């Protein structure tokens, strides 16, 4: 368990440091561009899935952890610890970015560009699609599992490319918590906690509809 929690902490740290770090550099210089930020998020997730997936399952996202619990692929008793270290990793990454880039106002925080309900709906749908892909990509043949990093990273980059300018395309409560807590932009944090968890929960039902009983493979200790 200690190794799994360490992997989740380090993975979430790397995800937030690289992804929001790209957003901060782009905010200060304009050199990275929106496309570059989206690709950074996708690529860092791809790398982390292969680096740490065998240790912790490579959640790095409280909404994904909740989704796996509801799909009976992850023991509910461990979910709280996973969420805690994910949030700590995200906050640690944002603190590092604050030290490195003290002039950044938002530190890559996700804030709605329009009304809050618009970003709520977008975040729920984006996370639902992401969780649906994760669940279906990790079910079935071993060969299918070997490409899960590419698939998940590509989905994250894709969703960030088209939805990022409107809602931030967080799809991850911890990713939003870190920059918000350190920069003080907490006003819309509820959107980026409730919507991803709702979307991930609905995705489990969608996976059941497609995969049947194969979607919810009971993991050891989940009963």
Tracing tokens 């932009």 back to the chain, one arrives at 185
- Kindly list the distances between the CA atom of residue 104 and the CA atoms of 59, 93, 137, 168, 174, in Å, as whole numbers in the listed order: 28, 14, 37, 17, 19
Maximum CA pair distance of the chain? 51
CA 70 to chain centre: 17
Which run of H or of E encompasses 180?
A: helix 173-183
Supply 144's token pair: 């299918």
Rounded CA gap, 48 and 52, in Å? 6
pLDDT of residue 145: 61
- Kindly list the distances between the CA atom of residue 130 and the CA atoms of 25, 69, 133, 154, 184, in Å, as whole numbers in the listed order: 26, 16, 5, 10, 28
Per 3-state DSSP, the chain is made up of helix, strand and coil in percentages (nearest 5) of 75, 0, 25
Ranges of residues in the chain whose predicted pLDDT is under 70: 140-145, 214, 216-223
The pTM of the full predicted model, rounded to 2 decimals, is: 0.92
pLDDT of residue 208: 87
pLDDT of residue 219: 52
Domains and CATH numbers, the chain: 2-214 (1.20.1080.10)
């Amino acid at each position: 368990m200690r190794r799994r929690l360490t992997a989740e902490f380090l993975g979430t740290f790397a995800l937030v440091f690289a992804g929001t770090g790209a957003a901060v550099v782009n905010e200060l210089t304009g050199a990275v561009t929106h496309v570059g930020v989206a690709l950074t998020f996708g690529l860092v997730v791809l790398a982390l899935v292969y680096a740490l997936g065998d240790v912790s399952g490579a959640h790095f996202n409280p909404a994904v952890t909740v989704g796996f619990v509801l799909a009976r692929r992850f023991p509910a008793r461990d979910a709280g610890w996973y969420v805690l270290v994910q949030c700590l990793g995200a906050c640690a990454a944002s603190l590092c970015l604050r030290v490195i880039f003290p002039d950044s106002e938002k530190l890559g925080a996700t804030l709605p560009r329009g009304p809050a309900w618009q970003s709520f709906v977008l975040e729920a749908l984006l996370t639902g699609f992401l969780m649906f892909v994760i669940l279906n990509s990790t079910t079935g043949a071993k060969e299918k599992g070997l490409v899960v990093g590419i698939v998940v990273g590509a989905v994250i980059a894709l969703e960030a490319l088209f939805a990022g300018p409107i809602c931030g395309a967080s799809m991850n409560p911890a990713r939003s918590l870190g920059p918000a807590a350190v920069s003080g932009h907490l006003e819309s944090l509820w959107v980026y906690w409730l919507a991803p968890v709702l979307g991930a929960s609905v995705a489990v039902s969608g996976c059941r509809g497609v995969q049947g009983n194969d979607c919810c493979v009971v993991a050891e200790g989940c009963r």
